Structure formats: C-alpha cells, structure tokens
Amino acid sequence: MAKGLSKFETNWIKADTKESTLSVSVDIPRLDITGLYKIKGRVFIFDLVGEGDFVTVLEDVSGTGKVTFNVRASTDKCALTILFLTG
C-alpha cells in the first residue's frame, strides 16, 4: 500500500497533439509504502531467502512520465484511452 500520493505537486505538463502524447513532472513530499516481500535468489556468492513485511519511507520523490493517448469523440461524449505509459 502506498500513502502520500494525493499530496503530489505538478511541476509541468506538456501536451503534443501531433504525437498524441502527454508528459508530466511531479514532486511527492513523502511516500509511505508497506507490503509483503518474498525473495529467493543469489547475489554473487550469497544466497538470499526470506519473506515478510516491509516498510519504506521516501521523502522528496520526483518523477516524470509520458503517456500516448487516443481520443474518440461522438456528439454526446468523449473518451480518452491511454495506450502506453513510460516513466
């Protein structure tokens, strides 16, 4: 579970209608993430095995993303479909 995403601040938004893309940059002051993990593997000569709860607290998170979209319009409604998301 992630908490804190609703407190994001938008830095900029760029729309390119010719390429049908929308790019955005956001800052998140604090992001609390909790969940479960399960790991089984090897790093160099060390075996890693374990499972359990985890808690991660991130501060001053910045991110950018880009979506490709398709707009379909009719006389009574308009639909926006996101085709591809990159980060």
C-beta neighbour count of 22 within 10 angstroms: 17
pTM as predicted: 0.65
Tell me the CATH number at 17: 3.15.10.30
What is d(CA 71, CA 18) in angstroms, rounded to the nearest whole number? 12
Over residues 58-71, mean pLDDT: 88
Q: What mean pLDDT do residues 35-55 have? A: 96
Domain count, the chain: 1
Residue from 64, 59, 58, 61 nearest 85 by CA: 64
Looking at residue 67, what is its pLDDT?
A: 86
Tokens of 17: 């209608």
Mean pLDDT of all residues in the chain?
88
Enclosing domain of residue 24: 2-86
Instruction: Provide the pLDDT for residue 83.
Output: 61
Q: What is the number of residues in the chain?
A: 87
